[in-house]
Each structure stands twice: as C-alpha cells, then as structure tokens.
Amino acid sequence: MRTVAIVGAGVIGCSVGLALRRHGVVTYLIDTDAGAARAAEDRGAGIAAEPAGPADIGVIAVPHGRVAPVLAEHQKRGTARVYTDVSGVKAPLHREALAHGCDLSTLVGGHPVVSDGATEPREDLFEGCPWALTPSESTEMLALNHALELVALCGAASVLLDPEAHDRAVALVSHAPRLLASLAAARLLDEDESAVRLAGQDLRDVTGTAGGDPELWAELLTANAGPVADQLDGWAVQARTLARELRGVARSGDAARPVLLREALRHGAAGRARIPRPWDPLHT
C-alpha cells in the first residue's frame, strides 16, 4: 500500500493519516471543510489535496448518515481503487450503499473500536484495538487485502464479521450498554442532592459512557435499532425476574432466598472476565 485517500479530516480520519504516515504511506486528506483538511495537514496527517490518480484505498471517515452518498460520489470520481469506512453500524450501511448505486465489490465495511473519549487525533489511537471488517459476498479479494493491510499499519487487530453479525455484536458490547448507562445516569436527575453526594467510583464506572454526544449516539442507536431492542428486551426480562425475587426477600426477610440474584452476580463476574484486555493476544 503506497497511497491512501482519507475522506473526512476529523479525529478518526486524521488519526488514520498520522498512523499511516509513520510507515511512509502517502496520504491525501479530503474534506468539504477545507480548513479541517489544512489543519490535519498541519498536524502531519497527510496532504490536503485529492490524489492525482486513484489511491490504493479510500477511507470514508464521515458520520454514518453521510457514508453512502459520499462513497457513491468518490467511486464515480475514481478517488481510489477500493474503499472502506469507519461507521459503527454496518448492515444498514450496505443497504444504503446499494440504494445509492455504489459498487460493493470494491467496498469493505470497517469499524475501528476506539474510545469515543478521544477528542484529539493521535497516531497511536488504534494501537491494540479491535477493528471490525465486514466484507460482503461480492467484495473482491483486492479490497479485503488492502483493508487488512490498512488495519495492520494502524496497529489494530482485524476482526472479520458479516454486517449483520457485526451489528448484533456492537449492540451487545457497546450500543445497549451505552443506553443503559444513560438511563442509570438520568435517574440521578430526580434525586435529592444528599443522595447524589453518596455516589462513588462504582457509579462513575457504570455511567462513564453516558457523557457522549447525544445526537451522535441517537443516530447510531437508531441505525442499529433492531439488535439494540433485542438486547434491551432480554435485559428487561432478567431485570423483572430479579425484581420479583427481591420483592419476595423484602416481604420475607429471608437473606438466603435470592438464588437468582446470586446466580446473576456470578454470571456477571464470569462475563466480565471474558472482556479482552489491551495486551490480550486478541489485540496483538
């Protein structure tokens, strides 16, 4: 891989450019906001211009709702030979790309899983992170190989999934937990100040992701509505079951009674132990 065109000079796009430049890849920065492209160039992320000929790969690093039309535009212009994106929802994106007349044979859906707490571009933003790639049945091997190389050069670990499996996975590990964190944090608005003052690190951990951009997350959750709703339904059933058991304990005072509660806590500890750490082999 020698040349990469990055469409969208935000935190993710600029960070991709910084990571690739470490390896001598020539990167071109394209943005409807010329000032953003120049700012990314000043950071050393690439050249604020379109490539003279097709780049080896184009990275569409724009908000989810704009990916399909932007992809269609750059495929028509011949900006790159193959393309990937960085959107957090994949199945709807593939459908939207088809609706916009995009060529899916040259597209590999992509999703770098990084903390949304990152507000500044960094060349090491993706180091040790999983990066989902979601090729379709029509994706050409050249496109997949270029996407795999891109991820490796950025220091991330590729995880290959089909688009639907990706969306179910992120509903489980990101989207639904994010919504629950917001619901937990929102309950604090109705409590007295004396109660809120008792909040400690446990509550900070549980609600840590509730501080993200509401409009951005509303767009993602809506795009992945079905899988997120499935997760919420499952948790609602478990929550009602535990609530009934605890109501029984409240009436009887029998501390040995909550069998399901203890089981839920054991399962929670076991599930948390499965979360990969940054130095886990999955990420190297």
Residues paired with residue 55 on neighbouring β-strands, in sequence order: 80
CA angle 77, 81, 86 (to 5 degrees): 90
User: Tens of pLDDT along the chain (284 residues)?
Assistant: 899 999 999 999 999 999 999 999 999 999 999 999 999 999 999 999 999 999 999 999 999 999 999 999 999 999 999 999 999 999 999 999 999 999 999 999 999 998 766 779 999 999 999 999 999 999 999 999 999 999 999 999 999 999 999 999 999 999 999 999 999 999 999 888 988 989 899 989 898 888 888 988 899 999 999 999 999 999 999 999 999 999 999 988 887 778 999 999 999 999 999 988 764 444 33
CB neighbours (10 Å) of residue 177?
15
- Decide: 104 and 134 in contact? Cβ < 8 Å: no
Q: Is 200 helix (H, G, I), strand (E, B) or coil?
A: coil
pLDDT score, position 181? 94
Phi, psi (deg, nearest 5) at residue 181: -60, -40
State which H helix or E strand residue 29 sits in: strand 26-30
CA angle 165, 271, 284 (to 5 degrees): 65
pLDDT score, position 279? 45
Tell me how far apart the alpha carbons of residues 228 and 20 are, in angstroms, rounded to a whole number.
34
Residues paired with residue 47 on neighbouring β-strands, in sequence order: 28
Handedness of CA 218, 223, 228, 229 (dihedral sign): positive
Task: Go through the chain and tell me how many residues it has.
Answer: 284
Q: Is 117 helix (H, G, I), strand (E, B) or coil?
A: coil
Handedness of CA 275, 279, 280, 284 (dihedral sign): positive
State which H helix or E strand residue 27 sits in: strand 26-30
Q: Is 5 helix (H, G, I), strand (E, B) or coil?
A: strand
pLDDT score, position 116? 63
Count of helix runs (H) and strand runs (E) in the chain: 12, 7
pLDDT score, position 278? 62
Q: What is the DSSP letter of 159?
A: E
Is this structure's pTM higher than 0.85?
yes
pLDDT score, position 276? 82
